[in-house]
Structure 1
Amino acid sequence: MEKKHTRRIMLGLLALIIGVMGWRWVEAENPQEEQQLQAVAVSTAVVKSMEKPAVMPLSGTVEGLTSSIISSRFSGQVTNVLVEDGQQVEKGQPLFVLDDVELRNSLRVAQNNVNQTKAKYDNNRDEFQRSKTLFSQGAYSQQQLEMARTKMLASQAEYDSARASMASAQKQVAEATVVSPAKGVIAHKNLTNGQNVSAGSQLMTVEQLDSVHVVINVEQRDMAFLKMGDRVEIALDTYPDEKFVGNVHVISPVAGKESRMFRVKIKVDNPDFLLRPGMFVQVQLNLGQPKQVLAVPQQALLGQKGLQYLFTLEEGKARRIRVEAGDILGDYVEITQGATEGMIVLLDNLDKLKDGDLVQTGEE
């Protein structure tokens, strides 16, 4: 009985193993049924031809037409700061004053030295004139005349040196009051009354804002459309109703080492100082005639390690292809290489897809 019982157990196990193997065989014969349950749900779009406008929007940044760094030519203590950040100033307007007591004392010493050397020079010059008269009358020798002349020239040199020292002292007294080198607006002020400053240290800047530069970076392929003096339209969100117009003023002859783009400056008249350095603006750059290009919705483009890809639909499966992307065209992106018109592309779950994955599309 025990042997029969054991035999029945063995037969049961054998039947179970055969059943499992049979089920796996049936599953292997029908893989689509299981995969169909694991298909990734996606929506689709098609690669379409659309018009790329001749005017391309680019982002730009406002810079002052000139930016003058203000510093002191010598060290000293600030006695009076006359301006504040954002204040408009004229060329030659005083900005701040340094303590000039020692400078004025030096100027007085220099003036006294000028007076002394001048008196000495005047005396020696008169003596030389008398020597010339006596020499002509035979009362002075040639040697005596030359000695008088040498004495006069030496005193003249002392007098000239004293005048130069006085001029330097006068210049330093004048420079104790630092003035604006140009018309503009005060920025980056780092100065207070009583502060000790060092010669050459930056204390503020004067930004020329009656005209400004709008700076943009242009790709190499678009450089052919640019030339000096081109008219450019500019807008910014801060003043939605204002329209600004400028002209290409500077085109860098060298591309940036990292970006490989060219820096272009557009000069814009700014009489009301509405445009301020650091503002972001939109520039409408003329790139020639409109043309037809291929484009896909932006969400269809997948970027990985600096490369661009699209997922296309082929026989119910996702196929990844490499493409080259161009400019942004509203909600679409230009495809310059790798796609054809009418090609179906996938829009959803791109980060979850792999090449060859089965996908489930909705109604198109």
Structure 2
Amino acid sequence: MKKNVLFAVCLVLMTTACSTQNKSEENEVKAVRVTVAESVETEYHPILNYSGTAEANRKVNLASSLPGRIEKIYYKKGDFVAQGAKIVELSDEMLIQAQVENETIKKDYERLNRLKEKGSISLIDFDHIKAKYEASEAKVKMLKKNTTITAPFSGILVDIYVEEGENYSFVPSMSADLKIENGIVSLMQLNPLKVKIEVNEKELPLIHKGNEVKVVFDAYPEEKVIGKIHYISPVLSSVTRTSSVEVEIPNTSLKFKPGMFCRASLELPAEKGVFVPVNAIYRQPGTGEEFIFVVNDDNTVSRIPVKRGEMVKDQVHISEIAAGVRVVIDGKSKLDEGTLVEIVEE
């Protein structure tokens, strides 16, 4: 009987020892081998990034304030037009008629003016002919302006809406791309060009007129153009809470076209921030969420959501942790909140 009891006690002790050993081995298996790096504080230049659209610096649809026939168009679409150059000539029948009338009224005015000096005519009669003459002069000037269309600024003739021999009227027409057109020709100033961006209200205090902006067009990704902010809208959109900002850029070769998509970046004054290696950031599969694993004093890890900031070489700025914190570089895919890790040398 005593032998049986002794055997049972030994069996229990052996089972307990084996169980303890297995648990110890399981704990050792749970420790994931990782490499780490330390977050550091670095001086950097914050950068504001925006998407934008190129627009003509100036654009105008030129027309006459009176209907008439188009006699001559002196330029073709795509031609450069200097400021003050004659672009279109309209029929001048009404001008000729007004000039003949003006000559007749001018003679009457000069004759009555001589009689007024001799006192042979009443002041009322003279004032009447004087008003008639001045109105005739104004009519001639008005018709002269409306028989010739000149360029108010230097630019490119981008479109012609009425051809030679056609009659121009005030009725707008529909273009092939379903846009309303009005006028005879369209003139654009393409050098300089302006880029329009939308700036969030929180970032408005950081930008000022004259700030340099780096612009890169998708059509020319290797070419960086330096422009300057020359206009900040004084009002914000009540829908987007953004302000329209215009950046003026040089376009001497005219390779950048209105309507082109571009990216604009504004470098702010230097400040200090915490950086970690970019490969410390782990993106949750199937989502846009990113986070890092921070190693605690007991060698467990904490998962911290982060938002990427500026890049300095292979380091990325994050604001969610302080400097001097250990972050996991390799082995991130095997980790979760509270996972025990074993730090190894790279």
Same fold (TM over 0.5): yes
Give the secondary-structure state (helix, strand or coil) at the position aligned to 1:151: helix
- Distance in 2, Cα, partners of 1:196 & 1:44: 80
> Residues 90 and 180 of structure 1 are in contact (CA less than 8 Å); yes or no, is this contact kept in structure 2?
yes
| Candidates 58, 61, 78, aligned match of 1:67 | 58
Q: Which structure carries more strand by proportion?
A: 2
Paired with 1:125 and 1:108, the residues of 2 have a C-alpha distance of 25
Partner of residue 247, structure 2 = 266
Q: Counterpart of 1:246 in 2: which secondary structure?
A: strand
Q: Report whether the alignment pairs 1:96 with 2:102.
A: no
* SS of residue paired to 1:91: coil
Aligned residue identity for 1:106:
M
Q: What are the ranges of 5 or more consecutive residues in structure 2 without an aligned counterpart?
A: 1-33, 173-181, 296-300
SS in 1 for 2:147: helix
The aligned amino acid for 1:252 is S
Question: Which digits, 9 at most, give the CA deviation of each residue in 1:301-340, with x for residues without a partner?
Answer: 56999x95759799xxx99876666567899875544999
> How much does 1:161 deviate?
2.7
Asked if the contact 1:62–1:276 (Cα under 8 Å) also holds between the matched residues in 2, the reply is no
1:234 touches 1:283 (CA, 8 Å); kept in 2?
A: yes
| CA shift in 2, pair 1:192/1:108, >3 Å | closer
Q: 1:51 to 1:309 in 2, by over 3 A?
A: same
Distance 1:70 1:303, change over 3 A: farther
Matched, 1:157 2:131: yes
- Aligned-residue offset at 1:189: 4.6
What's 2:24 paired with?
Answer: none
Among 189, 209, 228, which residue is 2:190 paired with? Answer: 209
> Residue 172 of structure 1 aligns with which residue?
146
How far apart are residue 72 of structure 1 and its match? 1.2
Whether the 8 Å contact between 1:88 and 1:184 is mirrored in structure 2 is yes
The 1:160–1:55 alpha-carbon spacing in structure 2 relative to 1, beyond 3 Å, is same
Deviation at 1:182, TM superposition (A): 0.8
Compare CA radii of gyration and give the structure with the larger one.
1
TM-score (norm 1): 0.58
Aligned to 1:198: 169
Mapped pair 1:120 → 2:91: no
1:297/1:333 contact within 8 Å kept: no
Alignment match, 1:13: none
Contact 1:64–1:211, Cα closer than 8 Å, also in 2 = no
Q: Which runs of 5+ in 1 are unaligned?
A: 1-42, 134-144, 349-354
Following superposition, the deviation at residue 184 of structure 1 comes to 1.6
CA contact (8 A) 1:66 1:207 kept: yes
What is the root-mean-square deviation of aligned Cα atoms in Å? 5.1
How far does residue 92 in structure 1 lie from its aligned partner after superposition?
Answer: 1.9
CA drift of 1:67 comes to: 1.9
Q: From the superposition, tell whether residues 276 and 51 of structure 1 become closer, same or farther in structure 2 (CA, over 3 Å).
A: farther
Partner Cα distance (2:63, 2:105) in 1: 32
Describe the SS at the equivalent of 1:209: strand
SS of the residue 2:152 aligns to: coil
Q: Could you tell me which residue of structure 2 aligns to residue 228 of structure 1?
A: 209
Counterpart among 151, 155, 164 of residue 184 in structure 1: 155
Paired amino acid for 1:115: E
Letter paired with 1:117: I
Deviation of the 1:71 alpha carbon: 2.9
Secondary structure, aligned partner of 1:276: coil
Question: Contact 1:64–1:207 (CA<8 Å) still a contact in 2?
Answer: no
Letter in 2 for 1:272: S
Aligned to 1:250: 231
**Correspondence for 1:30:** none
In the alignment, the residues of structure 1 paired with residue 74 and residue 89 of structure 2 have an alpha-carbon distance, to the nearest angstrom, of 8
C-alpha displacement of 1:181: 1.4
Residue 285 of structure 1 aligns with which residue?
A: 266
2:186 & 2:38 partners in 1: Cα distance? 52
One-letter amino acid of the counterpart of residue 275, structure 1: F
The one of 105, 113, 117 equivalent to 2:93 is 105
Q: Which amino acid aligns with 1:90?
A: A
TM-score, normalisation: structure 2: 0.61
Could you tell me whether the CA contact under 8 Å between 1:61 and 1:278 is conserved in 2? Answer: no
Query: Per the alignment, in what secondary structure is the counterpart of residue 210 of structure 1?
Result: strand
Q: Answer with 43-52 or 182-191: which moved more.
A: 43-52
2:115 & 2:291 partners in 1: Cα distance?
Answer: 101
Contact 1:124-1:152 at 8 Å conserved across structures: yes
For residues 77 and 105 of structure 1, the distance between their equivalents in structure 2, rounded to whole angstroms, comes to 10
User: 1:324·1:338 contact (CA, 8 Å) conserved in 2?
Assistant: no
Q: Give 1:183 deviation, angstroms.
A: 1.0
Residue in structure 1 matched with residue 175 of structure 2 by the alignment: none
User: Judging changes above 3 Å, is the alpha-carbon distance between structure 1 residues 321 and 246 closer, same or farther for their aligned structure 2 residues?
Assistant: closer
Q: Aligned with 1:182: secondary structure? A: coil
Distance 1:187 1:337, change over 3 A: farther
Quote the offset at 1:86 in angstroms: 3.3
Partner Cα separation in structure 1 for residue 161 and residue 284 of structure 2: 48
Corresponding residue of 1:17: none
